[in-house]
């Protein structure tokens, strides 16, 4: 397990993929499509795949998704397409996620499809942030004839796909390939560029952009108020995962990751980020990893499949439990944590456990960089950007749109994509309308 960041799930061979696709019943009213947040035309591309027409399958998928190799790997299929497949009732749903991954990977390695780059004549759009929402906006609008430029603060694009989801679930090479396809549509990437620091939204409008999309996500982790929480051995999961990702890519040394090497680690929270942090801590050589959650297994927000894998790999789960005190030790390490567990009869029990590190995965909220340097963008009391229903996704500043986590609507990669698809349509309509008015008023 230690240092084994190789992708956990194996891809289909051609024969396996075609055989699996041939099991599909091509239902008249396909539950799979209904269950997919971006209404992927699943039966249609599975039908092409079943006939061996991989290129056609890819074209159909691209009609709805800019990131199929990502979705095929990290979507919650059990709750979405596969959970709604008619064959799921017999416990034999079509493995839609694995098939989507197969088509996308096959297309990339065989260079099967080449999308024509449309003429960029409808307007200019600046996209801030290159996570799932930003990439979706860029792909959709670029295909519709808009010139799109992405501004990304990191040295590599992808946001949470690049720095948040661990390599064993989503290899960075896959993310790079998907982004390359979006770049091939004519999208321009500006890396190491922080809007709100290097320049402002007003500067972008002055440069001639017709609309701006904020897909800046939630980069400020939430903190709990527990005695000892400020000790340096208490880390934020998103920062820990980012460091491991940088270490994996050779950008920082092993020493700079810190967690691992025989440590006893406690992860607070039980969403997908918590599970990612726990499984990553094991891969960094931790001797013992405990996930501490104040509710039960049935109330966790993590995907069941991720939880099952974590259990199989040796992660312990402490249900109905909270850390109520953190005792610091020497050398950037802890000594122990004090846990409180709710018992079935409603009473509580406390016990102390030896600990070296605590990793917090209790959510995050948006940074204020952009809104604090721009007039007219209102946020709610927690810093999420307020947007309208009409034009969908537009903030209180005309021409500035927002989507993805920064608006507090979506919860997963594919939900951020669904939201962004709607915002992309809205941006296109907005720019067309503004340009039409300009012509009428000339």
User: Rounded to the nearest whole angstrom, what is the least distance from the CB of residue 39 to ligand SF4 in the complex?
Assistant: 12
Do strands 264-268 and 357-360 pair parallel, antiparallel, or not at all (unpaired)? parallel
- Judge contact between 213 and 403, C-beta under 8 A: yes
Query: Residue with structure tokens 């005695």?
Result: 227
Question: Which residue in 50, 85, 187, 370 binds ligand SF4 (CB under 6 A)?
Answer: 85
Q: Shortest gap between Cβ of 95 and ligand SF4 (angstroms)?
A: 9
Contact set for ligand SF4, span 36-65 (CB under 6 A): 42-43, 46
Q: Does 30 bind ligand SF4 (CB under 6 A)?
A: yes
SS3 content of the chain, % helix, strand, coil (to 5): 40, 15, 45
434 binds ligand SF4 (CB under 6 A): no
Identity of the residue, 6 or 28, whose beta carbon is nearer to ligand SF4 in the bound complex: 28
Answer for which of 36, 61, 70, 94 binds ligand SF4 (CB under 6 A) is 94
Least distance from C-beta 82 to ligand SF4, angstroms?
Answer: 8
**Positive/negative CA dihedral, 386, 373, 198, 221:** negative
Taking CB under 6 A as the criterion, the residue among 18, 27, 224, 287 binding ligand SF4 is 27
Shortest spacing between CB 41 and ligand SF4, in angstroms: 10
Among the listed ranges 27-35, 217-225, 247-255, 319-327, the one in contact with ligand SF4 (CB under 6 A) is 27-35
- The residue to which tokens 């108020």 are assigned: 225
Residue position matching structure tokens 């944590």: 337
> Using CA atoms in the order 181, 187, 191, 193, what is the torsion angle rounded to 10 degrees?
-150
CB nearer to ligand SF4: give 27 or 362. 27
Q: Where are the alpha helices (DSSP H) in 231-315?
A: 237-248, 272-283, 304-313
Contact 298, 330 (CB under 8 A): no
If one counts every other C-beta atom within 10 angstroms of the C-beta of residue 382, the result is: 10
Nearest-approach distance from CB 77 to ligand SF4, in angstroms: 11
> Which of residues 24 and 195 has its CB atom nearest to ligand SF4 in the complex?
24
> Total residues contacting ligand SF4 (rule CB under 6 A)?
15
Structure tokens at 165: 């989801």
Stretch that binds ligand SF4, among 7-15, 30-38, 183-191, 317-325 (CB under 6 A): 30-38
Q: Which residues are CB-contacts of 416 (< 8 A; sequence separation ≥ 6)?
A: 131, 132, 133, 136, 215, 403, 404, 405, 410
Kindly state whether residue 112 participates in binding ligand SF4, applying the rule CB under 6 A.
no
Instruction: Using the minimum distance from each CB to ligand SF4, give the nearer residue, 43 or 228.
Output: 43
Close Cβ partners of 162 (under 8 Å, ≥ 6 residues apart)? 154, 156, 172, 175, 245
Separation of alpha carbons 43 and 308, rounded Å: 28
| Shortest reach from residue 201's CB to ligand SF4, in Å | 43
- The residue from 4, 9, 26, 232 that contacts ligand SF4 (CB under 6 A) is 26
Cβ distance to ligand SF4 smaller for residue 99 or 141: 99
Q: Which of 8, 18, 87, 311 binds ligand SF4 (CB under 6 A)?
A: 87
Label each residue of 346-364 as H, E or C. CCEEEEEEECCEEEECCCE
Nearer to ligand SF4, 85 or 212 (CB): 85
Cβ closer to ligand SF4: 30 or 271? 30
Whether the Cβ atoms of residue 171 and residue 148 lie closer than 8 Å to each other:
no
Q: Helices 272-283 and 237-248 meet at what angle, rounded to 10?
A: 40
Residue spans of beta strands (DSSP E) within 193-301: 211-214, 220-221, 234-236, 264-268, 288-292
Least CB distance to ligand SF4 at residue 26 (A): 5
Residues forming contacts to ligand SF4 in the complex (CB under 6 A) are 24-27, 30-32, 42-43, 46, 85-87, 94, 96
């Amino acid at each position: 397990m230690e240092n084994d960041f190789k992708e956990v799930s194996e891809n289909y061979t051609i024969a396996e993929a075609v055989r699996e696709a041939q099991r599909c019943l091509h239902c008249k009213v396909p539950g799979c499509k209904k269950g997919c947040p971006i209404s992927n035309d699943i039966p249609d591309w599975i039908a092409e795949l079943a006939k061996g027409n991989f290129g056609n399958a890819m074209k159909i998928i691209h009609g709805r998704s800019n990131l199929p190799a990502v979705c095929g790997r990290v979507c919650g299929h059990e709750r979405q397409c596969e959970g709604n497949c008619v064959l799921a009732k017999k416990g034999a749903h079509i493995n839609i996620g694995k098939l989507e991954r197969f088509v996308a990977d096959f297309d990339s390695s065989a260079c099967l499809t080449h999308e024509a780059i449309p003429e960029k004549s409808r307007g200019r759009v600046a996209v801030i942030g290159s996570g799932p929402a930003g990439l979706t906006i860029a792909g959709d609008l670029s295909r519709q004839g808009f010139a799109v430029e992405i501004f990304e603060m990191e040295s590599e694009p992808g946001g949470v796909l690049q720095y948040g989801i661990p390599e064993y679930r989503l290899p960075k090479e896959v993310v790079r390939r998907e982004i390359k396809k979006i770049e091939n549509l004519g999208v321009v990437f500006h890396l190491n560029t922080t809007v709100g620091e290097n320049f402002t939204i007003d500067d972008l409008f002055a440069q001639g952009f017709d609309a701006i999309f904020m897909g800046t996500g939630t980069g400020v982790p939430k903190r709990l108020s527990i005695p000892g929480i400020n000790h340096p051995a208490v880390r934020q999961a998103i920062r820990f995962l980012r460091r491991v990702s940088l270490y994996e890519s050779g950008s920082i040394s092993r020493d700079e990751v810190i967690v691992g090497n025989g440590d006893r680690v406690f992860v607070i929270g039980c969403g997908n980020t918590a599970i990612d942090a726990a499984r990553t801590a094991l891969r960094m050589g931790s001797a013992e990893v405990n996930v501490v959650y104040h509710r039960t297994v049935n109330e966790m927000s993590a995907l069941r499949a991720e939880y099952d894998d974590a259990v199989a790999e040796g992660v312990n789960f402490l249900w109905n439990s909270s850390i109520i005190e953190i005792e610091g030790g020497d050398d950037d390490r802890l000594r122990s944590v004090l846990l409180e567990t709710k018992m079935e009869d409603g009473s509580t029990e406390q016990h102390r456990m030896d600990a070296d590190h605590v990793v917090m995965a209790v959510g995050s909220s948006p940074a204020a960089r952009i809104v604090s340097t721009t007039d007219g963008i209102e946020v709610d009391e927690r810093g999420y950007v307020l947007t309208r229903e009409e034009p969908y996704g537009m903030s209180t500043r005309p021409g500035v749109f927002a989507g993805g986590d920064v608006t507090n609507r979506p919860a997963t990669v594919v939900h951020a994509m669904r939201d962004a698809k709607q915002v992309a349509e809205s941006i296109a309509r907005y720019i067309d309308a503004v340009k039409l008015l300009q012509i009428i008023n000339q």
